[in-house]
Amino acid sequence: MDALKWVVWLTPLEPAAGSNGPKLLDLPPHAIVRMTGNRQMAGTPAMPWSEVEYLGQNMQSHVGWVYDGYLEDYTPNRGDVVHIDPSLKLVYPYAPVQDLTFNGMTQFNLCAEFCSAYIGGEPILDFLNKCKANSSLSFAITNKAIGVTQLQLLLTTMYGYSSTDIKAFADGLRDPVMGVQITSGRVANMLKSFYLVALVHINSAGEIVYYDPTKQGTPDMVLHWVVIEEVDPFGYDDGEVTLFNPFPDNMEKIAFRLLYQSMAPGPTGLWVPRVKTSSGVGSATH
């Protein structure tokens, strides 16, 4: 596999090493690049520069030079928690794992589909083929952003949950006296019987990040579905969270405070029973 790096700051991509002329573009912070292997000492005084390839929107390739000080090693934490048939994988080794080739096109941002397949315990190819065969689920393979209503439709249609099996995020934490209280202990208690499919914010590297309204709509503040498996609580709003992140198709551990803040400004999610109470065509197996 080609050596990968990521840039630590807003980084100018130059047409030549040490160039002071018009830049090709700015690489966003945390952008992942492929090293071509070409390196030069350039400028006055001479400094190290590397030629890199950056994939922008629609997988458009940009090749140029960056000053080495902007670059740090990047080792993708790629898993196969939801099995991906090799025929679906993109040719770019540093593309998000959740982006696939299916139905004759590149499918971007399949986080809701991966979360659903994770809960159902089946390979993503099987899940997508079922969506293709069911006209009511065709939205899942047409590159449209999937909201909470569509996510619930995926789960109820695919795995036989009833509308009463699945609870909205706030409803699962509502107390008749105290109202909705979001604490690590209350979330941990709910997770004994439910998965939590939560809408969080990630950056361009797929890392869960704190919500920052000044970055909303940029590559460093993108909405993303994950599945919360477990919370080891500590205090009122601290502890460790174990979750499935579709971006690398892998399990991760983060702080509960990061999870809670990343779900801002309005926490959104679904509590999905680990064991269904209704009859259906599938079952949760994790």
Give me the CATH number covering residue 9: 2.30.30
What pLDDT does residue 282 have?
42
Which candidate, 158, 156, 167, places its Cα nearest to that of 122? Answer: 158
The pair phi, psi for residue 218, each rounded to 5°, is -105, 170
Cα separation, 126 vs 122, in Å, equals 7
Q: Which domain holds residue 148?
A: 80-286
What pLDDT does residue 257 have?
94
Together in a domain, 176 and 46: no
Together in a domain, 60 and 90: no
What pLDDT does residue 281 have?
42
Together in a domain, 165 and 233: yes
Together in a domain, 143 and 159: yes
Together in a domain, 18 and 145: no
Burial label for 164, CB within 10 Å (0-12, 13-18, 19+), is exposed
| Cut 0.75: pTM above it | yes
From 19, 39, 73, give the residue that closes a domain: 73
The one-digit pLDDT tens for each residue of the chain (286 residues) are 468 898 988 999 999 999 878 999 999 877 889 999 999 999 889 999 999 999 876 668 899 999 999 999 987 777 899 999 999 998 776 678 999 999 999 999 999 999 999 999 999 999 999 999 999 999 999 867 899 999 999 999 999 998 789 999 999 998 888 878 889 999 999 999 999 999 999 988 788 999 999 988 787 789 999 999 999 988 767 899 999 999 999 999 999 999 999 999 999 999 999 986 544 444 455 5
Q: What angle do CA 109, 114, 120 make, to 5 degrees?
A: 160
